[in-house]
Structure 1
Amino acid sequence: MSLRYAVLTLLDIEPGSGYDLKRRFERSVSHFWSASHQQMYRELHKLHDEGLLDCTEQPQEGKPDKKIYSLTERGRAALQAWVQQPTPAQKIREPFLIQLFAGHHLTDEQARAAVQRQLEEHRALLHSYLEQNERVLQSDPAVQERYWLAHQTLLLGIEAEKTWVAWAERLLRRLDQQ
């Protein structure tokens, strides 16, 4: 997958400026796909140049005009064609797991501290995802119905974080026994 389809998907849901898009990206897709602010703007310009996005300018007082992007029919067709293609399952790419794999170079205290940091980060992510889920569950039922498949990505994130937390807690118990 590429950033291109993440951008098309977010603009399919609702047109917006580059800033709007980045905020929406950070609240949703960034949990399973990363991109910098610069990458996002480069992709917007590429998609516009390819005719997959329209761009209208909204005048703003005392500021440059705001560019609002939306999908063209060609952009919607490209998104629809892509979403129907099978994608291979991705392997985990987690730097911490490489460090842990080389964990024989750590003292027990260093290993425990590293696992504890990961546990805290994954607990925080889990908390954030659970809060997002509550907002989804309190949203308009018609919106929930339309985007129920998108909601499944959040539910998978919740399950993944629960697994990380449980795994790290077991690992810490084992380290404490050493």
Structure 2
Amino acid sequence: MSLRYAVLTLLDIEPGSGYDLKRRFERSVSHFWSASHQQMYRELHRLHDEGLLDCTEQPQAGKPDKKIYSLTDRGREALRAWVQQPPPAQKIREPFLIQLFAGHHLSREQAQDAVQRQLDQHRALLDSYLEQNEKVLHSDPKLQEQYWLAHQTLLLGIEAERTWIEWGEKMLRKLGEPDKQ
């Protein structure tokens, strides 16, 4: 998958500016896909140049015009064709696991600190996802039904964070045992 289809998907739900899109991205697909603000803008321009997006300018008082992007028929068709193709299974790409793989260069305390930092980050992510889930559960039932599959991705993110936390807590217990390096 690439960022282009995440952008097309989010604009299929609702047109918006680059800023709107980034905020929407952070509240939704960021639990399984990452992109910087710059990457998002580059992709918007690319999709517009390819005719998959329309762009209208909305005047703003005292500021540059705001560009609002929306899918063209061609963009909607590209999204529809892509979503029907089976994607390959994605392998985990986690920098922390590479560091841990080379963990024999760490003291026990350094390893414990590294695991604790990861554990804290995953707990914060879980809290964020649970908060997002509450918003979904209290949203309009028609929207819940329409975006039921999208909600399932958030639920998977919640389970993934719970798994990371469980694993991190086990790691800390193991690192606390006297026979561990």
Cα distance in 1 between the residues matched to 2:105 and 2:49: 51
Cα distance in 2 between the residues matched to 1:68 and 1:149: 26
The equivalent residue for 1:165 is: 165
The equivalent residue for 2:42 is: 42
Q: Which runs of 4+ in 1 moved over 4 A?
A: none
Given residue 25 of structure 2, which amino acid in structure 1 is its aligned partner?
A: F
**TM-superposed deviation, 1:46:** 1.1
**TM-superposed deviation, 1:40:** 0.9
Relative to the length of structure 2, the TM-score reads 0.96
The equivalent residue for 1:140 is: 140
| Per-residue CA distance 1:116-171 (angstroms, 9 max, x = gap) | 11111111111110010000000000000000000011000000000000001011
Relative to the length of structure 1, the TM-score reads 0.98
Given residue 168 of structure 1, which amino acid in structure 2 is its aligned partner?
A: G
The equivalent residue for 2:77 is: 77
1:35 counterpart SS class: coil
**TM-superposed deviation, 1:66:** 1.0
1:151 aligns with 2:151: yes
The equivalent residue for 2:30 is: 30
The equivalent residue for 1:125 is: 125
**TM-superposed deviation, 1:36:** 1.3
Total equivalences in the alignment? 178
Q: Which piece of structure 1 moves more, 154-163 or 38-47? A: 38-47
Structure 2 stretches lacking a partner, 5+ long: none
**TM-superposed deviation, 1:103:** 1.2
Cα distance in 2 between the residues matched to 1:153 and 1:45: 27
Structure 1 stretches lacking a partner, 5+ long: none
1:177 counterpart SS class: coil
| Identical aligned residues as a percent | 84
Aligned-residue Cα RMSD (Å) equals 0.8
